[in-house]
Structure 1
Amino acid sequence: MCRWAAYLGDAIFLEDVIAAPSHSLIVQSHGAKEAKSPISADGFGVAWYGDRPEPGLYRDVLPAWSDTNLRSLGRQIKSGMFLAHVRASTGGATSRANCHPFVSGRWSFMHNGQIGGFEKIRRALENSLSDTLFDQVEGSTDSELFFQLMIGEGLAQDPLGAVSRATSRVLDAARRAGIEPSLKLTAAFSDGRALHAVRYATDEHAPTLYTGAFAKGVGRCIVSEPFDRDGRTWHEIPQSSFVTMTRDSTSIKPFAPAAVQLALAG
């Protein structure tokens, strides 16, 4: 499974999360402790926010531990909001277009998990996109397509609702195809102002997710697994949760697909 880390707070160097900690994201790319496989060697990427609304983006197909450009950029670029990801492919070629994060306008998105039976429902999901959104898809991953589904469901106006409705569309597509719905969704996304994350699975084994303070008065992180346990407290996010983090607060709400929420309300 992939590993990722997202940061929000005062501007820090990217290397402070990507490379410097004892269990940094680069270390996790070849030595993850809380994933099915310790290796995430199918590419990497970083999206960071600066003075412009749209994020900067750097992605490549090399393993994160072997790309000297990543370390160089990490030593020079400072940001108060960034998303970083190392990829362990569950489908889709190893290509730059398939590396996370994915970007659309001011939004960035990265994912750890998979849509079960994706090859059987991919066409139906693609056909449900508007022409504009379909034309934005560059790669072949279930993650990028899910991101476009979120945008189509009103991500800019209602992040929680958009993820909930997109999840429901995936599960409904599986049922219509006659297969058992299976989805693992641990994702982070941002518009440069707030940082959001979701942890959900159709079974009891959603990929791990934690929050923690980067340093007192500096910022906070949302991560697949802790990058440093010395002198730092990490809090595991419960399964079926939606996280919204701003510079002033962090909220955690229950998460369920839209159809389930409607059924409970009725």
Structure 2
Amino acid sequence: MCRWLAYTGTPVLIDELLYKPANSLVVQSLHSRLGAETTNGDGVGVGWYDELPTPGVFRSTEPAWHDRNLHELAEHVRSGLVFAHIRASSGSPVQQTNCHPFRYGRWLWMHNGLISQFAELKRDLAFAVDPELYPHIQGSTDSEILFHLALTFGLHDDPPAAVARAIAFVEHVAEQHGVPYPMQGTIATTDGERLWAFRYSTEGRTRSLYRNTDVATLKLQYPDNPLLHGLSDATRIVVSEPLGDLKGAWREVPEGSCLVVEDGEEEVRPFAPMPFAMV
């Protein structure tokens, strides 16, 4: 599987997210505590927003722990909305176009998990993608197909509903092929202003996902921690596994839920697949 991080809040150097924490994403690339694999060395990617109309994306097939270009970029790019992902392939090739996050217009998308027996389902899933979107698929992963299915089912208009319909379609196709428990994953997507994170699996045993306790509370609990006092109370971090052992700093995102973050406010909603109609 993979590990990922989504950050929104006070603009910070990407280095502060990827390298500085005790259990940073770079540390997790070698020593993941909660992942399906300890090592996530099949590529790394970072997406960020600045004053330009579309997000920047850096993707590399190098393992995060020794990618010098990643380190160089992280020490010089500052952003208030960052996606970062380290990959452990579930079968698709290790190539740059298969590294997350994926981008379409202002949208970013990343995924930890898999569509079971994807090779058997791939044709039917790909043919359901809007023909205008299909040429934008560059890699061969289930994650990128799922992204384009969500775009097909209306990601621009209603992200939770679009993701719910896309997953329902995956489960529908899997049922036709006799594939049990097809969907496993935590997903993050953003339009550069709002952030959505999903935790769902058909089996009901989804990979781990956490969000930070609100920063105002952490400042009260840890008044002598200078790192916290540089962040606004609106800062939110969503991660596959906690970035450190600071007591009370992390809350688990519940199974079968959607976390919505907008303007520093967050809401956790129940999430489940919903009926779809082909467009």
Partner of 1:101: 101
The answer to whether 1:76 aligns with 2:76 is yes
The answer to whether 1:114 aligns with 2:130 is no
Alignment check: 8 A CA contact 1:97 1:139 kept = yes
Secondary structure of 2:112's aligned partner: strand
Which residue identity is paired with 1:209? L
Secondary structure of 1:129's aligned partner: coil
Partner of 1:21: 21
Change (3 A) 1:174 1:41: same
Partner of 1:225: 241
> After superposition, what is the alpha-carbon deviation per residue over 1:137-157, rounded to whole angstroms, capped at 9, x for unaligned?
000000000000000010011
**Matched ranges for 1:60-209 at <5 A:** 60-209=60-209
Change (3 A) 1:230 1:179: closer
Which residue identity is paired with 2:102? F
The answer to whether 1:257 aligns with 2:273 is yes
Which residue identity is paired with 2:55? P
Partner of 1:42: 42
Q: Could you state the TM-score of these two structures normalised by the residue count of structure 1?
A: 0.95
Alignment check: 8 A CA contact 1:242 1:253 kept = yes
Distance 1:76 1:164 in 2: 37
Which residue identity is paired with 1:246? E
Distance 1:179 1:222 in 2: 31
- Number of residue-to-residue matches in the alignment: 260
- Cα shift at 1:178: 2.6
Which structure 2 residue ranges, 5 or more long, are not aligned? 216-227
- Cα shift at 1:247: 2.5
> After superposition, what is the alpha-carbon deviation per residue over 1:182-214, rounded to whole angstroms, capped at 9, x for unaligned?
210201110000111000011132010000056
- Cα shift at 1:231: 5.4
Partner of 1:7: 7
- Cα shift at 1:177: 1.7
Q: Could you state the TM-score of these two structures normalised by the residue count of structure 2?
A: 0.90
Alignment check: 8 A CA contact 1:8 1:246 kept = no
- Cα shift at 1:121: 0.9
- Cα shift at 1:158: 0.1
Q: Give 4+ residue runs of structure 1 displaced > 6 Å after superposition.
A: none
Which structure 1 residue ranges, 5 or more long, are not aligned? 261-266
Which residue identity is paired with 1:95? Q
- Cα shift at 1:36: 1.9
The answer to whether 1:246 aligns with 2:262 is yes
Which residue identity is paired with 2:203? D
Distance 1:26 1:232 in 2: 23
Partner of 1:236: 252
Calculate percent identity across the aligned residue pairs. Answer: 38
Which residue identity is paired with 2:12? I
- Cα shift at 1:119: 0.8
Which residue identity is paired with 1:238? P
- Cα shift at 1:181: 3.8
Secondary structure of 1:154's aligned partner: coil
Distance 1:130 1:77 in 2: 34
